[in-house]
Structure 1
Amino acid sequence: MSLPLDPHDLRAQFPALRRTVDGQPAVFFDGPGGTQSPERVIDALSGYLRRGSSNHGGPFLTSRETDAASDAARAAMRDLLNARRPEEIIFGQNMTSLTFSLSRAISRTWQPGDEIIVTRIDHDANIAPWLLAAEDRGATVRWLDFRPEDCTLALDTLPALLTPRTRLVAVNYASNAVGTISDVRRVVELAHATGALVYVDAVHYAPHGVIDVQTLDCDFLACSVYKFFGPHTGVAYGKYELLDSLTAYKVRPASDEPPGKWETGTQSFESLCGVAEAVEYLASVGGPAGSRRERLVRGMEAIRAYEATLSEHFLRGATRIPGLRVYGITDVENLAGRTPTFAVSLAGRTPEAVATYLGERGFFVWHGNYYALAAMERLGQEPEGLVRIGFVHYNTTEEIDRLFAALAELAGRDL
């Protein structure tokens, strides 16, 4: 059973939430593009630099402190993802860079005529690297579609796409555009039955729910810490035996063992300090008792339950705004199938005009395709895209009500 979550108590930990626009509190509904950080994360980054920084691997104090900071970040991410060992955690510039690196290594094992599967609902960071790798290796690309009416993945068509020559399935855990949560465990079961690997993009899902790579049994999973209240650092998980056996593109003096063989150049060690504290923050939401993993599970379950109330509040209120259309799952009885991220359109207004109008009034929302290019093309919304309104657990129903007032005012204005 999840703990009750009080967003007002937690909001006090986020200094950015104190900003104002024309005397009114700023409303951060841009979480799908990047979240704000609590004070403890900010202090961790600045504290590392203030104490004196150094590269890792040296026989002196600041270097040993850097090694300890890196180890702490890796252990924290192991607990967040429930990896079997810390060596299964790789850090990098961002999820996109890590996916390009891993796709290059994985595709070395492909032969002409092999096949891969990507989905039309994914962020392009989990599509383009695989398309390029397939082109380089002469592999065939198959597409898993989604249903435009509710933006759910057409998993019933996946068995027909899988063949003995399928080498990899790339799928997101949740859509960064429309919020749909994918049945990743089912994808893994089907893919593994044919011998294919599964690469999961969990960037959008990570701030919204529990991740357990052992239960999912996925082969790889990637996320970005700035999407769950930390710094701009990418993280990739891979099963150790795969990370160990695959050939990494690296400089020759670098380690030949995971994770070092996969981490190119010098990491942002100050950011790794922030990574550890971002995970500690999420664990703190789960209360003081138990192991960090146990606290993380309770904390993420509490976040999930609270965010469902935000989703229901938004979906019920959206029906009262003339001309407002919400894409994706709109059934309040099926909130378990989505995150609190909503792509919307307003009749007679361009997405850019809506986002600009709201931005001038202190509501921070995105417009366009948010790199979910294939999804917007499938929905017939390219090139303008849609408006994206996304909530995380520091948002409130009061903020949503303010948004409704602004949208109603815009909808009622003469064109």
Structure 2
Amino acid sequence: MSDTITYDVAAVRARFAALATNDTIFLDTPGGSQVPDAVRAAVSDAMRDAAANLGGTFATSQRVAEIVTGARAAAARFLHCSPDDTIFGQNMTTLNFSLSRACARDLKAGDEIVVTRLDHDASVSPWLEVAHDTGAVVKVVDIDEATATLDFTNLEAQLSDRTRVVAFSWAANSTGTLTDAKRVTALAHSFGALAWIDATHAAAHVHVDVEAIGADVLVCSPYKFCGPHLGLAYGRPEVLADWRPYKVRPAPSDPVARRFETGTLPYEQLAGLTEAINYWESVDATGAGHAHARALGQRLLDGLPDDARLIGPPTMDGRVPTFLLAFADRDATAVAETLVANNINAGASDSFYCMGLKDLIGDRGALRIGLFHYNTADEVDQTLAALAT
């Protein structure tokens, strides 16, 4: 087997001290990626040069303003939207709870929210809480269990004139399944519902364009794509303008997205976010990084041991290079421990926070392998050798 993508992965890896200073093979990226040195330096520099808050005429406060403005511009480029439509928060989960609560002010008993079996619980529990408080109904779209892909026939059957929100994962953090976000969005809009997209996993593997998709709300986590720990969201201004936010009275209300940022932002993390997006623009401007990771994914699929049961799409079509594996006669935790003994990081779980897949995963759990643009063909081969032992 040989790589089919021309890509200087060694040059990319040289930008990560974590990849250059030890022999660990990082396949745990679905839970959080490694961080380029430039991101780490930006966070450190901001803590040194911008230990202040907004609103002052002094130098450190002005530096904070520059950091926030720069982060909004970078986030807008990453999401393909206006800087005015970006929202920063503690993490994706917190943002999703906050935005869903604002949306819920207008929901009534009997209104319907649609989620799917492929969703991380951060995209489900906020709506379960909304239903508890408002009397709204949460409906769950089924999947084709043979491929762990969304059942669009079932999705259409779940929609009605009472549907208010269709919340779904663009890419499943568990199985790597890609869902046609534009198709789901169009279906939601045809029933007058909002399209609410969890792009937490997708943002690390596909190019995001909220305007092309037609998203009403999109949430993601920069620490999944080489950034710091914080949350990032897009909200369509026409939608946000209709919601009453939970905020302190002196906090900004213009543009409308600012109303959903509570308290002091993590300015040092925003400096890191800007560098993370700058990094992506430098290594993946032509999509070569994503293509490299997909080629590695095919290499892994071609060499899986016979006792590995793949939960998810059987080929690289309709997926990102994240793989969920169950084993006929081995507990996933034991397999993960074997990998750790070979300096390979990969996690085992009975759900990976995707509660809709627990029955499909089974009692022995499953191993999750996440390939990324900084992994190598040799790392895939070492992993396959360890899986076979």
Partner of 1:349: 330
- With over 3 angstroms needed to count, the CA separation of the structure-2 counterparts of 1:390 and 1:46, relative to structure 1, is same
User: Deviation digits for residues 147-199 of structure 1, max 9, x if unmatched?
Assistant: 11011100122221111110000000100000000011011111101100011
Q: 1:5: Cα distance to partner?
A: 2.5
Does structure 2 retain, via aligned residues, the 8 Å contact 1:18–1:26?
Answer: no
Contact 1:323–1:347 (8 Å) recurs in 2: yes
Does the CA-based 8 Å contact 2:50-2:63 persist in structure 1?
no
Question: Which ranges of structure 2 fall in alignment gaps of 5 or more residues?
Answer: none
Aligned to 1:315: 301
Aligned with 1:206: secondary structure? helix
Within the candidate set 96, 105, 108, 2:105 is matched to 108
1:81-92 mapped onto 2 (5 Å cutoff): 81-83=79-81, 85-92=82-89
Aligned to 2:195: 198
Alignment counterpart, residue 266 of structure 1, candidates 264, 267, 273: 264
1:81-133 deviation digits (Å, cap 9, x = unpaired): 101x1111000010000000001011111111111101011000000101110
1:236 aligned counterpart, secondary structure? strand
Moved more, 391-400 or 255-264: 255-264
Name the CA distance, whole Å, in 1 between partners of 2:244 and 2:85.
Answer: 15
1:5 maps onto 2:2 in alignment? no
Could you say which residue in structure 1 is the equivalent of 2:177? 180
- TM-score, scaled to structure 2: 0.96
Give me the whole-angstrom Cα distance separating, in 1, the residues matched to 2:69 and 2:6.
32
Which consecutive residues of structure 1, in runs of 5 or more, have no partner in the other structure?
287-294, 410-415
The amino acid across from 1:316 in the alignment is: D
1:405 to 377, 385, 388: 385
Give, in angstroms, the shift of residue 360 of structure 1.
2.3
> In the TM superposition, what whole-angstrom CA distance separates every residue of 1:340-386 from its partner, at most 9, and x where no partner exists?
00011223221111112211221000111221122223x1525x531
Question: CA contact under 8 A between 2:323 and 2:368: conserved in structure 1?
Answer: yes
> For 1:401 and 1:176, how far apart are their aligned partners in 2?
23
- Structure 1 residue 244, shift from structure 2 partner: 2.4
* Residues 115-126 of structure 1 aligned to structure 2 (within 5 Å): 115-126=112-123
Give the equivalent residue in structure 1 for 2:94.
97
Match of 1:324 among 305, 308, 313: 308
In structure 1, the residue matched to 2:211 is 214
8 Å CA contact 1:209–1:303 kept in 2: the answer is no
Paired with 1:5 and 1:18, the residues of 2 have a C-alpha distance of 18
User: SS of the counterpart of 1:130?
Assistant: helix
Residue equivalent to 1:387: 367
- 1:4, CA displacement in angstroms? 4.1
Contact 1:19/1:26 (8 A) holds in 2: no
Task: Output the CA distance in 2 between the equivalents of 1:375 and 1:407.
Answer: 23
Task: Spell out the pairing of 1:63-82 with structure 2 (5 A cutoff).
Answer: 63-82=61-80
What residue number does 2:126 align with?
129
CA distance in 2, matches of 1:280, 1:4: 22
CA contact (8 A) 1:343 1:386 kept: yes
- Structure 2 counterpart of 1:304, which letter? H
CA distance in 2, matches of 1:225, 1:372: 20
Which of 166, 170, 174 is the matching residue for 1:169? 166
Q: 1:304 aligns with which of 283, 287, 290?
A: 290
The equivalent residue for 2:277 is 279
Is the 8 Å Cα contact of residues 124 and 373 (structure 1) preserved in structure 2? Answer: yes
Residue identity opposite 1:247 in structure 2: R
1:206 to partner: Cα distance: 0.6
Q: C-alpha distance in 1, partners of 2:370/2:62?
A: 40
Give the root-mean-square deviation of aligned CA atoms. 1.3
Higher alpha-carbon deviation: 214-223 or 305-314? 305-314
Structure 1 residue aligned with 2:151: 154
Q: Residue 47 and residue 160 in structure 1: after superposition, are their counterparts in 2 closer, same or farther (change >3 A)?
A: same
Please tell me whether the aligned partners of residues 167 and 195 of structure 2 are also in contact (alpha carbons under 8 angstroms): yes
Q: CA separation in 2, counterparts of 1:309 and 1:169?
A: 32
Aligned partner of 2:244 among 241, 244, 247: 247
One-letter amino acid matched to 2:367: V
- Tell me the TM-score normalised to structure 1 length: 0.90
For the 8 Å contact 1:41–1:230, the answer to whether it is kept is yes
1:231 is displaced (CA, Å) by: 0.4
Distance across 2 between alignment mates of 1:239 and 1:336: 30
Counterpart-to-counterpart distance in 1, 2:100 and 2:358: 24
Task: Say if 2:353 is the partner of 1:371.
Answer: yes
How many residue pairs end up in the alignment?
383
Counterpart amino acid of residue 326 in structure 1: L
Question: Which whole-Å CA distance do the structure 1 matches of 2:55 and 2:365 have between them?
Answer: 47
CA shift, 1:50, in A, is 2.2
CA distance in 2, matches of 1:339, 1:223: 16
Query: 2:161 corresponds to which letter in structure 1?
Result: P
| Secondary structure at 2:110 match in 1 | coil
One-letter code aligned to 2:327? L
Q: In the alignment, which of 224, 234, 258 is matched to residue 221 of structure 2? A: 224
